[in-house]
Homo-oligomer: A and B are copies of this chain.
């Protein structure tokens, strides 16, 4: 069985040597760095739950490549049932971590690269698919965490890769050697980068014919020479350095965003899965984005569950849980959250088999799903702030609660219902702060907006995927502009 334990996973990271910077300094032993560790813990949960018999059905699957049981995060979806279970797995992990757990990007990249390489090979006689199958076997056997990379630096947004003043604004091949290629560029907003073992890189967008050098897809280990990582800041990031366990809000888990620089990095041929096939870049991007837009119908719903739970808890603690407006707002939060879940389930249940054999979600409904994700979490967060009351942004620090002299006063005046320990209220308010303004808001709000493509990207896809002409004809038939061939009774 190829399932790693969380401890093994963590030890893997401890062995890795990478070039990582944070706050202007080089970071050593990053696996134990207090700012980074919560994101490693979140990833570790994907290992932990796969070993838990309670969750076996949704956390693991039987590999179509090896017949072995694998972590579903490394699985190639073999049915719509698999697609649905993926969403359920993501909701579960969102519930268990209360944040972005970061292993989906790789899973979504696996599935998109798998069926796109198949179609490239079919059309062009290349061997990318076979290479990729070998790679996937390796990933499944080692139970690796792999980060999928798509978003380039992009420079001037009004210009494409080939027209940028700096050609490196989009990652591209700068040298071709007998044994492989050398690439240069930078992938931004990389969620779950330095808690992964490997990186799977894809092009950022549909490319024109003369942009072949940007049409590159490949995988490398994280510690490949030439890789430079710069850790991104998040709201309230340094609270993790303060030593307490209350003001951080989420005691264990968090996300991670890394600027990932490819400073002339060599990739051997067996790890190259696309090289110059610009006509397939759009397919790869669209499918990866589609899978990832589906993902948000699971993970953000799970985080939403924790935020709903936090809102319910704080209302109860403070003695407001039975007010009718409070109950109604909680219903509204649930309604919005389950609507997102419905979209995640629907695009999965309506999936279809690709030529390569793995399953693709319904692309239109996946875009609908993500479009709602750019809206509803913000409203859920607003309602959570409504129910929390204002103390989560005015409460004194953890240290003040513990101060020998004023601590007792601070506690006295922070008390709510007699039977609720003051510390519980304090902890719950900090969790709400974390989810709506702090570290986790980065994942729950801003990433919901921009991850897997900004709202306008989905709207463009929606126009392309909805058949307006057909709808127009329906209307024209009903009002008598067109013949109605169906009516034959008198």
Contact = CB atoms under 8 A, between A and B. Distances in A.
A33 interface: no
Contact of A449 (B390, B478, B487): B390
Contacts of A239: 238
Nearest to A308: B471
Given A158-B320, A159-B319, A396-B233, A386 B449 contact: yes
- The majority secondary structure among interface residues of chain A is helix
Contact of A186 (B347, B413, B468): B413
Interface string A221-253: 000000010111111101100000111011111
Contact of A489 (B44, B96, B466): B44
Interface string A312-349: 11001011101111011011001100110111111111
Contacts of A313: 472, 475-476
Contacts of A471: 95, 305-306, 308-309, 312
A179 to B, nearest CB: 26
A431 B394 contact: no
A451 B330 CA distance: 21
Given A251-B480, A345-B345, A413-B153, A472 B245 contact: no
A356 interface: no
Contacts of A253: 478
A393 B447 contact: yes
Most buried by B among A97, A344, A437, A470: A437
A10 interface: yes
A157 B346 contact: no
Contacts of A320: 157-158
Contacts of A475: 98, 306-307, 309-310, 312-313, 428, 431
Given A318-B157, A368-B335, A400 B478 contact: no
A490 interface: yes
A424 interface: yes
Contacts of A486: 45, 48-49, 52, 96
Contact of A309 (B21, B263, B473): B473
Number of chain A interface residues as a range:
35 or more
A126 interface: no
A142 interface: no
A445 interface: yes
Interface stretch (A116-124, A199-207, A280-288, A370-378): A370-378
A235 B232 contact: no
Contacts of A49: 486
Contacts of A10: 489-490
Interface stretch (A58-66, A209-217, A271-279, A403-411): A403-411
Interface stretch (A69-77, A132-140, A456-464): A456-464
Contacts of A345: 342, 345-346, 349-350, 365
A28 interface: no
B159 A479 contact: no
Q: Which 4 A-B pairs have the closest CB atoms?
A: A24-B399, A309-B471, A349-B349, A390-B450
10 contacts: A22-B400, A49-B486, A80-B349, A169-B413, A236-B236, A258-B394, A341-B365, A345-B349, A385-B445, A390-B451
Given A21-B403, A23-B397, A48-B488, 15 more contacts: A7-B488, A96-B474, A97-B478, A158-B320, A189-B394, A235-B235, A251-B479, A258-B394, A306-B475, A309-B475, A331-B462, A338-B364, A374-B386, A390-B450, A431-B475
